[in-house]
Amino acid sequence: MVIGFFALANCICIYTLERMNSSLDSLHQKRDLVLRDMQAIDQMRRGCLSKQFFKSAAPGRSRRRGPYFILQGFFRGKKFNESIPAEQAPQVQAQVDNYRRFQKLAEEYVSLSDEITRLQSLEADSADCKKDSSPRS
């Protein structure tokens, strides 16, 4: 009966290891795709591009002037503001969007790496379990 228990425990460990290996392979592939997507982003700028208008206070009439584009954000703990010419605004907005996409991909990369590390730890524990499950005389 004891030998049957150890045989069952051994089968469970082997099954668990096989499932973990396929999960690990899948996670590694996903992480590699995320890394490739990150590498494909060539231009990026941090911050937020805003469009501003001003009212001119001419006597007897008010007139709206603009738009004026301002790139605002934080870098190394300090706030920055940069005036962007209207003709460059679409390009700068695409760069800001790329930065946001890069941040999301970086978070996904960390999450996948965390999951891989967790599964590798479980795999190591299961391998120890497999070693310990051999019948003793």
Q: Flag whether 23 is in a domain.
A: yes
At 123 the three-state DSSP class reads: helix
Mean pLDDT, the chain, integer: 84
Q: Flag whether 29 is in a domain.
A: yes
Reported pTM: 0.70
Q: Which helix (H) or strand (E) holds 20?
A: helix 2-40
Q: CA 63, 69, 74, 76: dihedral to nearest 10 degrees? A: -130
Q: Flag whether 9 is in a domain.
A: no
Q: Flag whether 109 is in a domain.
A: yes
User: Which tokens go with 34?
Assistant: 């995320």
Q: Flag whether 37 is in a domain.
A: yes
Parent domain of 113:
14-50+65-132
Question: For the chain, how many structural domains are there in total?
Answer: 1
Per-residue pLDDT of 36-80, as tens digits, reads: 999 999 999 999 999 999 888 777 777 888 899 999 999 999 999
Q: Flag whether 6 is in a domain.
A: no
Residue 65 pairs with which residues in a beta bridge?
Answer: 54
